[in-house]
Amino acid sequence: MTRKLISSGSPFEAQIGYSRAVAVDGWVFVSGTTGYDYATMVMPEDVAEQAANALATIAKALGEAGASLDDVVQVKYILTDGNDFEACWPVLSKAFATAMPAATMIEARLMNPEMKIEIEAVAKIRA
């Protein structure tokens, strides 16, 4: 079994004890990712901007594993207010226009009140 741990540099990873992504045997499992810009630790107020930031972080982690958003086979969206989901659709549909992954949207409270969306993804690295 080959296993690669990938970090985004988020302080939460070290504090809580997890990796942004784990690549194992041709699969990449990306942890739930919120909308922080991890370079500045700034969280935009707009849910669609948060989704775009989360997808950028996910894309970077996938790239480090040898995959891309086009390789995503499953995605889970967790929103604090399900009514915000539609505002994210343009960002999400652009990111996953090629992959068209299986998807789920869940409404739940997130770790910090400023977090409006968290995105988790699974990708299969192409041979």
Domain range spanning residue 16? 3-124
* pTM of the predicted structure, to 2 decimals: 0.94
Number of domains in the chain: 1
pLDDT surpassing 80 at residue 44: yes
The per-residue pLDDT for 123 is 98
| 39: its two tokens | 């370079």
| CATH number, residue 87 | 3.30.1330.40
Q: Can you name the residues that pair with 42 across neighbouring β-strands?
A: 37
pLDDT surpassing 80 at residue 71: yes
The per-residue pLDDT for 40 is 87
Q: What is the pLDDT of residues 75-122, one digit of tens each?
A: 999 999 999 999 999 999 999 999 999 999 999 999 999 999 999 999
